[in-house]
């Protein structure tokens, strides 16, 4: 593959957008077929159940780390210039943003990537939540919520470089990361094997994680073969959601990018996955009290993602796969915030913002 020829002919923005489209297609398809969902995994964990959703997430996360660390060891990837490692970060933003995002994803019954996947399957609740998420993300990036985000982010700042790398802080390297990923992956494979999974559970779980590694690899190839400065990047949905919102509402002025190609790729990939599995189904809201729950949850996710520097996939899996310390703090916050929200909102007897019990599965359920 002659990357230089492609870049000279089409330009960096177009090639990056195509790379995002390819990675998005794979992610959307595999995530749809495996029912990949951090929210459901968090709920299973806090309910003391090691079920399919938790196993799928662990399998995907393990595959993402293993794929990325192998690429680094083989010399096919260098993530030292990734913003999650090279730029200044906020530990306070990572922790508080993760907690807020975790609560929001329980309220909307899915993180940002899950909402996009479900929207392509005909879920109107997810579509509305995704739109609110995008509006809030843009408001947090450069709008009314931006000052609040800046204040919280300034409470505890960490410099870029080794101080943002968890492996560097522990005096470890890519081989150590690979060993950790192997242990993580073997644990998930053990539970998956004894659960009698179908082919698509296996392929979907592994494929979802490997798309994180593919996204890093593709953007790195463009950066390494470009004569113009290009930022290496991976899968994330908060920034691209805000970018697409502005591209729709205003006259397109910004060039194409990896993220702008990613979003339609995920949507199309999920649609194809639903088509293969016969999962296309138009769904709306059930009961008046569910709409406020979804809207509030989407607002929390939009603000939390921008505060934390990414969503469950962007900060959690993508940043976690390169061992960015802020990403692991964010991920921990999401697990805690999601568990607390499930306990407070969906415990028996609390119906104020509780998810419907029929015909839609409750939010505390592990159903997709």
Does residue 357 fall inside a structural domain?
no
For the chain, what is the mean pLDDT? 86
Contacts of 204 (CB under 8 A, 6+ apart): 30, 31, 32, 33, 34, 35, 36, 56
Q: What is the pLDDT of residue 115?
A: 92
63 lies in some domain: yes
The pLDDT value given to residue 355: 52
Specify burial of residue 251 (Cβ count, 10 A radius: 0-12, 13-18, 19+).
Answer: exposed
Q: Is the pLDDT of residue 172 over 90?
A: no
Note down the domain range covering 187: 3-345
Q: Which two tokens stand for residue 330?
A: 């964010």
User: Measured between alpha carbons, how far is 195 from 186 in angstroms, rounded to an integer?
Assistant: 14
Q: Tell me what pLDDT residue 362 has.
A: 39
Query: Does the residue 258 lie in any domain?
Result: yes
Examine residue 152 and state whether it is found in any structural domain, yes or no: yes
Instruction: Quote the number of domains for the chain.
Output: 1
Name which of 166, 179, 171 is nearest 66 in CA terms.
179
CA gap 82, 309 in Å, rounded? 13
* CA-based radius of gyration for the chain: 19
Domain for residue 364, yes or no?
Answer: no
Cβ-in-10-Å burial (0-12, 13-18, 19+) of 228 comes to exposed
CB neighbourhood size of 27 (10 A): 31
State residue 357's pLDDT score: 44
What's the 3-state SS for the chain?
CCHHHHHHHHCHHHHHHHHHHHHHHHHHHHHHHHCCCHHHHHHHHHCCCCCHHHHHHHHHHHHHHHHHHHHHHCCCCCCCCCHHHHCCEEHHHHHHHHHHHHHHHHHHCCCHHHHHHHHCCCEHHHHHHHHHHHHHHHHHHHCCCHHHHHHHHCCCEECCCHHHEHHHHCCCCHHHHHHHHHHHHHHHHHHHHCCCCCHHHHHHHHHHHHHHHHHHHHHHHHHHHCCCCCCCCCCCCHHHHHHHHHHHHCCCCCCCCHHHHHHHHHHHHHHHHHHHHCCCCCECCCCCCHHHHHHHHHHHHHHHHHHHCCCHHHHHHHHHHCCEHHHHHHHHHHHHHHHHHHHHHCCCCCCCCCCCCCCCCCCCCCCC
Q: What is the average pLDDT across 30-57? A: 90
Chain-centroid distance, C-alpha 83: 16
Spatial neighbors of 292 by CB under 8 A, at least 6 apart, are 353
Strand partners, 283: 123
Give the rounded percent of residues in the chain with a pLDDT score beyond 90: 50
pLDDT tens column, 86-121: 888 899 999 999 999 999 999 998 888 999 999 999
The answer to the question of residue 217 being in a domain is yes
Q: Using CB atoms within 10 A of its CB, is residue 83 exposed (0-12), middle (13-18) or buried (19+)?
A: middle
- Please give the pLDDT value at position 2: 83
Q: Are 172 and 53 in contact (CB under 8 A)?
A: no
Instruction: Please report whether residue 336 resides in a domain.
Output: yes
pLDDT of residue 363: 38
Q: From CA 68, how far away is CA 217, in angstroms rounded?
A: 8
Residues whose CB is less than 8 angstroms from the CB of residue 342 and which lie 6 or more positions away in sequence, other chains included: 42, 43, 46, 106, 363, 364
Q: Is residue 274 part of a domain?
A: yes
Q: What is the pLDDT of residue 256?
A: 84
Residue 353 confidence class, pLDDT cut points 50, 70, 90: low
Higher per-residue confidence, 255 vs 23 = 23
């Amino acid at each position: 593959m002659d990357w230089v020829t492609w870049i000279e002919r089409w330009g960096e923005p177009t090639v990056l957008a195509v790379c995002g489209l390819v990675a998005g297609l794979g992610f959307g398809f595999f995530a749809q077929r495996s029912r990949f969902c951090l929210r459901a995994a968090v709920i299973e964990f806090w309910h003391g159940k090691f079920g399919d959703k938790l196993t799928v997430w662990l399998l995907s996360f393990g595959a993402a780390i293993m794929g990325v660390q192998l690429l680094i060891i083989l010399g096919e990837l260098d993530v030292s210039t990734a913003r999650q490692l090279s730029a200044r970060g906020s530990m306070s933003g990572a922790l508080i943003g993760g907690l807020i995002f975790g609560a929001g994803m329980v309220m909307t019954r899915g993180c940002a990537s899950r909402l996009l996947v479900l929207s392509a399957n005909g879920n109107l609740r997810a579509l509305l939540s995704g739109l609110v998420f995008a509006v809030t993300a843009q408001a947090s990036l450069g709008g009314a919520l931006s000052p609040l985000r800046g204040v919280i982010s300034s409470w505890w700042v960490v410099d870029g470089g080794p101080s943002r790398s968890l492996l560097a802080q522990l005096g470890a390297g890519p081989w150590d990361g690979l060993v950790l990923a192997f242990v993580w992956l073997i644990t998930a494979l053990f539970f998956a094997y004894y659960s009698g999974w179908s082919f698509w559970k296996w392929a979907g779980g592994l494929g979802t994680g490997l798309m994180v590694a593919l996204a890093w690899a593709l953007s790195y190839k463009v950066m390494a073969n470009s004569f113009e400065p290009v930022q290496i990047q991976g899968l994330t949905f908060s920034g691209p959601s805000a970018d697409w919102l502005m591209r729709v509402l205003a006259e397109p002025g910004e060039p194409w990018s990896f993220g702008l190609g990613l979003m339609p790729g995920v949507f199309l990939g999920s649609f194809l996955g639903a088509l293969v599995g016969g999962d296309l189904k138009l769904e709306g809201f059930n009961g008046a009290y569910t709409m406020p729950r979804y809207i509030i949850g989407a607002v929390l996710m939009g603000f939390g993602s921008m505060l934390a520097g990414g969503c469950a996939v962007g900060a959690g899996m993508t940043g976690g796969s390169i061992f960015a310390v802020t990403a692991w703090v964010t991920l921990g916050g999401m697990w805690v915030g999601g568990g607390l929200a499930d306990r407070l909102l969906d415990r028996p007897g609390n119906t104020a913002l509780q998810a419907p019990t029929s015909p839609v599965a409750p939010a505390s359920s592990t159903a997709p």
